[in-house]
Structure 1
Amino acid sequence: MAAGLTASGTMASLGQRHAAEEEARAEVDVLSSRLEKTSQLTKKIEACLNRLDATGKSVREVAGPLSGETKRLQTLGNNIESVIAAIERLRQPADSKNEEEQIIRTGPEKAGLSKYLTSVQRLDRSLGEMKASNIRSTQQTIGELQRLIKSGNSQLETYFDQLLRTETPREIEPLHYVTKNKPFPLLSQDTTSRLGLINAHIGATHRQNGNPAASSGTSMLSAGSGGNAQDISPIARIYADVRGPYIASTLKNLAAASVNTTKKKNADAIYRPGTSGIGMYAQSMEGMFLAEYENICSIFTRDDWGPAFQNTCMSALNELARTLRELNSHIKGHLHTDCYLAYEVVEIINNLTGQVETRTGELKTSLNASLKPVRETAKLSLGELLDNIKRNINDLQTLPLTGATLPIVTETMQRLQTMADFLRPISAIMVSLGDGGWRAGGGTGGNISQRGGGLAGADTAPSLASFDVGADGREIFAHYCADTIDTLLNALDARARASMGRKPVVGVFIANSIAIIERMIRDSDLAPLLEPRQAAVLDPWRKKAKALYTDTCKDVSMHLLDVIHTNRGATGGGGGSGRPSSGQGGVDSAHIMKGLSSKDRESIKGKFTAFNASFDDMVSKHRQFSMEREVRKAFARDLQQMLEPLYNRFWDRYHDVDKGKGKYVKYDKSAIAAVFASLY
C-alpha cells in the first residue's frame, strides 16, 4: 500500500515538471518571435532616418539662402521705419515753429516765465536733434531755430534785468540799518526764484556754448580782485551792472564822510579813536556785502557765486581803495598827530576783511590791496616818530635855564598813551614788523637791538614767513615804548649838555623829564605794559641825573674836610689818634680849638665862611630851579644825606671857633637841618 502510494506520487510530480517545462518553452518561443520583430522594426527605423537625413540636407540647401534674404529684408524694413520716424520728428519742430515763435514773441512777462522757459527749452532740444541728423534739407530750419532761440535768450536776459531793476533802489540810507542794528534789505523770495530760473537756463546755455561772451566781461575785474573774468556769465554780468552801482551809490556818502571827518579845526590836535567816519563806512560796507552775497547765493549756482560777488562789489571796492588812498595822503601829511588814524584804519579794514572772508570766502585780496598803503604808512610811522623826537630836540634854539622840562616830554608820553588806545592794531603791526623792526628803513638810535622782523617790500604783502608765530604784540609794543623813552632821554641829555653846560641844571632837566614820564605811565594804560620794565629803563637815567645834580656837593663839602696838625701831632679828618672820629659823641670843641695853632684857627674860620657862602648859593639855586614835586623832594634828600653828616661832624669839632658869636659859624646843627627841611 505504501509502495503504491509512493509510485503514484512520483508520477504526479514528473507530470507537473513536464508541464512547467512546456510552458517555459512556449514563453521562450514568444520572446524570440517578438525579438525578431523588434530587430526588423529597428532596421526599418534606421532606413527611415537615413532617408530623413538626406531629405533635411536638401531642405537646408534650399532654405538657407531664403533665410538670409529674409533677414536683410527685415533690417531694411526697420531702417526705413526709423528714417520715417526721424523724418516725422524733424518735421515736428518745423510744424510747431510757428507756435513756439508766437510764445517767444509774446515775451516771458506776458507768456509767463515757466511757459516761456519751456518753449525755449523745447526749441533747444529740437535744434540739437536737427544738428545731430545732419540732413541738408533742414539747414534752413536750423537757422530759423537758432535765430528764434537767440531772440528768446535775449528776451530772458532783458527780463532778468527788468526784474532786478524793479526791486533795486537807486540807493538806501545805510546808517538807518547800522545804527539800529537791522539787517540790510534783501531781494524778495519771489524775485530771487524767478531770477534763479532765468539764470539756470542762460547759465546752462552759456556753458554749453563754451563761454562765448566771457571776453566782454574781462574789464569788470581789476588786477588783484581775486576773481577770473573768464568765469562770469552774461546773467552775472547783468546782475553786477545793476546791483554794483546800487551798492557803490549807497556807500558813496560814507566814503566822503570818512575823508571829511579827518579835517580838524586845530591842525595840531591828536587824532582820537572813533573820530573818523571810517568805522561806520566799514560797518555799512560789511552789511551790504553780506546781504548781496546772500542774494547771489539764492540766484546763482555755486560756481558763479565768487565771480558774481566779485563783480558786483568791484565798484564799491574801487571807491574804498580811493578813499583809503586819500586817508593815507592825509595821514602822511600829518603823521605826528594822525598816525593813530592809520592804526584805526588797519584794525577796521582787517576786521571787515575777516568778517567778509569768513562769511563768503571772497574779497580778501581786494581788501588787503586797498589797505596796503595805510598799512605801510602805519609801519613806517613807528620809526619816523622816533626820528622826529631827535629832530625836534636838536632844532631847539634854547633850553630853560631853570631846568624845567620841555613840552616834547609830555607830547611824547601822550603819544604813547594814545597808542595804547589802539593797542590791538598796533600789536598786529608790531608782530608783522618784529621786535625792533621799527628801526628798519632808516631809523637810528635807541638801545633795543633789532631782534627780528622788518618792513615788507613796497610791492609785496607780508608773508607767513615774516611773522613770528610765537610773538606777543603787546610785549613788542612795550619794547617800542621803552625805546621811545630811551631815545627821548638820550636826545634831551645830549642837547642839554651842549646848551647848558652846567651839570646841576642838566640833572634837574633830566630828572624833571623822568618824573613826568613816570607819572604819565602810572596814570594811564601804559602802566601794566611798562611798570614791569620801568626800573630797567629809567633807573640808569635817574642815577645819571642825581650824579649831575649832586656834583655841586663836592665843592660845598670840600670846605668841611680838614687836615689840621695840632700841637699834639694829631692829624685832621678824623683819622688821627689824638682826635675823636667823626660823629663820635662827647666831642669838646673848645678843647680841640685850644689845641690848634692860630694859623689853623684862621683856616677853620675860612672854611666856615667859605662853606656858608657855597651852601647858601647851592640852597638859593635849588630853590630857583623849576622842579617837579618828587624831583625837588628827591634832590633835597640827596643833598641832605651827602652834606648834613659832614657839616655836623665839622660843627661838632670846630663850632667854638667864634665863641658862639655866629660871625663864622652861621648854622648850628638844628639850623642847618631846618634849611635842609625847607628844601623839600
Structure 2
Amino acid sequence: MVAPKNAAFAEESAEVEVLLASLGKTKDLTKRITASLTRLDGSGKIVRDAIGPIYGNTKQLQITSQNIAKVNEAIEKFKQPLDTRGREESIIRSGPKSAGLPAYLGALKRVDKALTDMNSTNMRSNQQAISDFHSLLTTGANQLNDMYRQMIQEDSQTIEPLHYITKQIPFPTYSNDKAQNLSQIGMAITSAGVQSARMGQREDDSAARVYAELRGDYLQSSLQNLATASIMTSKRRGDDTGIYREGSSGVGAYVNGIEGMFLAEAENTSRIFRNDAGRVLTLTCGKAMATFSRTMADLNNVIKPRILNDCFLAYEILDLVTPLSYRLDQRTGQLRPQFAEALRPLRETARSSLNEILTQTKKQAESISTLPPDGKTIPLVSQTATRLQNLATFDRPILALLSSIGDGNWKTPAGMASPSNLNLELTPSTENPTLLSHYLLDIIDALFTTLAARSQALHPKKPLQGIFQLNSVAVLTRAVQSSPDLARYLGISPHNAKLDAYRKAGSSLYLTAWRDPANHLFDQIQTSASRPLSSGTGPAIDSTSVIKSLSSKDKDKIKEKFRLFNASFDELVSRHKSLHMESEVRAGLAREIQSLIEPLYTRFWDRYHEVDKGKGKVVRYDKGALGTILAGL
C-alpha cells in the first residue's frame, strides 16, 4: 500500500517542479519584455521628437492647399459674370424690340444677378467690372423704361365716360398679355432701380411712379368734363328760387364715372403690380381725387349761399359718394379716407342746414306782414311742404346726419355742436326713423306756431284765423298723402297726430262763429202741454198744438229766435262762400257745420214752424231747404 502512495506523491512533485520551472521562465520573459518596452518607449520619443515638426508642416500645407483650391474656385466664379458681359451686352445694346422682349428680359436678369454676385464679394479688383455691368444694366433699364412708357400711353388716350355709362359698356382695361408684359418690364425696371439706388444714382420706384403719372393723367383728363359739368349743372340763375330737384345736377354721372374708371384701374394694377397694387392704385388716382376734392369744394360754395333750397344737393352728394367710397374700399381696400376728406366741407354744410331749415322757416313766417283776407294759405306753406317731401326723399343721408347729432340737438346751431362723424352705412339694426319724424315735426311746429301768432295779429276774427290754419294744414296733409316717402315718417301713428291736432284747433276756431246761430235754436219756453218728443224719436210733433199752447209773449220770442237765426245764418253762409278754402277743408267744414246746425234746426222747426202760419216771413227755411243749403257749403 505504501508503494502506490509514494508514486502518486512523486508524480505530483514532478508536476510542481515543471510548473515552477515554467513560472521561472515567465518571470524571465516578463523582465525581457519590460526591458524591450523601455527601450521602445525611448526610441518612440526620439522618433516623435524628430517627426513632430514634419507632421505639423504637412498639415499646414494641406490647409493651404485647400484654401488655394477655394480661391481658384472663387476666381472661376468671379470670371463667370465677366465672361457673360460680352454675350449679354450684344443683346442689351440691340434693344428689346430687336432682341425680343423675353430674350432681352432674360439678359437683363442675368446681368442683374452678376452685378449682385460681384457686389457681394466687396473686392476692389471688381470695382471696374461692377461699374461696367451697372452701366450696361442702366442702358437696358432706360430702354425698357422708354418701351414701358410707350406701352402704357398706347391705351391711355382720354375717353368719354358717359359713352360707357349710358351704353353700360365696361370701362377699358389692359389685355392679359399686355398686363403680363408690363408686369415683367416693371419688375425689371424696379430691380435695376434697386441696383442704382445702392450706388446712389436713381430711385428704385420708377416703374410705379411712371405708371401712376401716365395713368393718373388719363384718369384726370377723362373725368374732367364730368367734374366741370357737375358744377355747371348745379349753378342756377339768380331768379331761380325753387328747391333743388333730385337728379338735376350732373354729380350722379360724375360719381358713376369715377367708380367705373377707378375699378377698371384697380383691375389693371392688381395684374401688373400684384402685391403692391393698392399703393400704386392710390398714387394713380391721386390727380383725379385732387380734382374731385376741388369739385366738392366748388359745389359747397354753390350750396352755402342758397342753403335753404340747395341743401338737398348736399344730401344727394353724400348719398352718392359715401356709399361709393365703401364700395371701392370693399373692392380695393383703398381711397376711402380720401373720399371722406373730400366730403368733409359738404358734410358740415349739410349738417348745419338742419338747424338752418328750422331757423329760416321760423324767420320767414315771422317776417310776414300781410295775410290774404280770404283765409287763403301763403306760398311759405307750400314751400315748406315741398321741403318736407324732399327731406323724406333723402332720408338715408339725413338719418345719418341726425344720428351723428342726436335727437333734438338739431335745434342747436351748427357752430356750437361737436364735429360730425358721418357714417352712411346705416343698417336696419342701427337706423332710427323716429329721428327724422321728430325733426320733420319740429319744422311743422316752427311753421304753425309762428303762423298762428301772425294770423292772430293780422286776421281780426277767429273764424278767419281758423280758415287760414285749416288751409295750411290741408296743404301739408296733402303733401304727406301724396308722398310715400313722407308718409313713412308723418303718416303713421303717433306722428300723424300733430297735423290732426292743428286741424282740430283750426276747425274749432272757425266754428266759433257758427255757434251763434246754433244758440238761437235753444229755447226755454214752458208749455201747458207735456213737452213733445223731438222728430225722429217718436210720434210726429204737432207744431200747431205747440204754438196754440204758447202765450203771445212766448210766440214773439219764438219769432225773434227765427229772425235772429235767419240773419246770423244768412250772414255766415255768405261769408263762408266768400272765403277761400281748400277742397278738403270746404268738404270737412260743411260736414261739421251740418252736424252742428241741422239737428238743432230740425228740432226747432218741428216744434215752432207754425208760428208764422206758413207765410215764410219768420220761418224762412223749411228742413229740406236748410239741408240743401248746408250740403252746398
TM range (shorter): 0.7 to 0.9
Contact 1:186–1:295, Cα closer than 8 Å, also in 2? yes
Q: Structure 1 residues 442, 160: CA separation in 2 closer, same or farther (over 3 Å shift)?
A: closer
Q: For structure 1, list consecutive stretches of 5 or more residues without a partner in the other structure.
A: 1-9, 217-231, 444-453, 563-571
Aligned AA (1:169): S
2:39 corresponds to: 51
Structure-to-structure mapping, 1:303-342, within 5 angstroms: 304-342=276-314
Q: Say whether 1:378 aligns with 2:350.
A: yes
Q: Structure 1 residues 48, 506: CA separation in 2 closer, same or farther (over 3 Å shift)?
A: same
Distance in 2 (alpha carbons) for counterparts of 1:63 and 1:413: 119
Task: State the secondary structure of the residue aligned to 2:514.
Answer: helix
Deviation of 1:503 (Å): 1.2
Q: Say whether 1:267 aligns with 2:240.
A: yes
Contact 2:156–2:214, Cα closer than 8 Å, also in 1? no
Greater CA radius of gyration, 1 or 2?
Answer: 1
Aligned AA (1:676): L
Contact 2:138–2:192, Cα closer than 8 Å, also in 1? no
Deviation of 1:593 (Å): 7.0
1:346 corresponds to: 318
1:188 corresponds to: 175
Task: State the secondary structure of the residue aligned to 2:207.
Answer: helix
Q: For structure 2, list consecutive stretches of 5 or more residues without a partner in the other structure.
A: none
Deviation digits for residues 194-215 of structure 1 (CA, Å, limit 9, x no counterpart): 3222333443455677799999
Deviation of 1:367 (Å): 1.4
Deviation of 1:360 (Å): 0.6
2:503 corresponds to: 542
1:355 corresponds to: 327
Correspondence for 1:366 among 327, 333, 338: 338
Q: Say whether 1:508 aligns with 2:495.
A: no
Contact 2:400–2:426, Cα closer than 8 Å, also in 1? no
Q: Say whether 1:631 aligns with 2:585.
A: yes
Q: Structure 1 residues 101, 205: CA separation in 2 closer, same or farther (over 3 Å shift)?
A: closer
1:496 corresponds to: 455
Deviates more, 1:581-590 or 1:154-163: 581-590
Task: State the secondary structure of the residue aligned to 1:359.
Answer: helix
Q: Say whether 1:522 aligns with 2:481.
A: yes
Deviates more, 1:360-369 or 1:600-609: 600-609
Deviates more, 1:106-115 or 1:523-532: 106-115
2:26 corresponds to: 38
Aligned AA (2:313): L
1:203 corresponds to: 190
Aligned AA (2:591): R
Distance in 1 (alpha carbons) for counterparts of 2:552 and 2:200: 120
Task: State the secondary structure of the residue aligned to 1:532.
Answer: coil
1:665 corresponds to: 619
Task: State the secondary structure of the residue aligned to 2:483.
Answer: coil
2:257 corresponds to: 284
Deviation of 1:470 (Å): 5.6
Deviation of 1:368 (Å): 1.7
Aligned AA (1:530): L
Distance in 1 (alpha carbons) for counterparts of 2:628 and 2:108: 110
Q: Structure 1 residues 246, 463: CA separation in 2 closer, same or farther (over 3 Å shift)?
A: closer
Deviation of 1:240 (Å): 0.7
Structure-to-structure mapping, 1:587-626, within 5 angstroms: 596=551, 598=553, 602-626=556-580
Contact 1:593–1:656, Cα closer than 8 Å, also in 2? no
Aligned AA (1:277): G
Contact 1:493–1:510, Cα closer than 8 Å, also in 2? yes
Distance in 2 (alpha carbons) for counterparts of 1:211 and 1:407: 75
Distance in 2 (alpha carbons) for counterparts of 1:502 and 1:24: 169
Deviation of 1:28 (Å): 5.2
Q: Structure 1 residues 175, 651: CA separation in 2 closer, same or farther (over 3 Å shift)?
A: closer
Q: How many equivalent pairs are there?
A: 626
Deviation digits for residues 224-243 of structure 1 (CA, Å, limit 9, x no counterpart): xxxxxxxx922100111111
Structure-to-structure mapping, 1:147-186, within 5 angstroms: 147-166=135-154, 168-186=155-173
Deviation of 1:504 (Å): 0.8
Contact 1:379–1:455, Cα closer than 8 Å, also in 2? no
Deviation digits for residues 40-59 of structure 1 (CA, Å, limit 9, x no counterpart): 32222222112112222222
Deviation of 1:177 (Å): 3.5
Correspondence for 1:551 among 505, 512, 516: 512
2:267 corresponds to: 294
Q: Structure 1 residues 73, 317: CA separation in 2 closer, same or farther (over 3 Å shift)?
A: same
Correspondence for 2:441 among 482, 487, 499: 482
TM-score normalised by the chain length of structure 2: 0.85
Deviation of 1:313 (Å): 0.8
Q: Structure 1 residues 462, 472: CA separation in 2 closer, same or farther (over 3 Å shift)?
A: closer
Deviation of 1:359 (Å): 0.7
Distance in 1 (alpha carbons) for counterparts of 2:165 and 2:8: 131
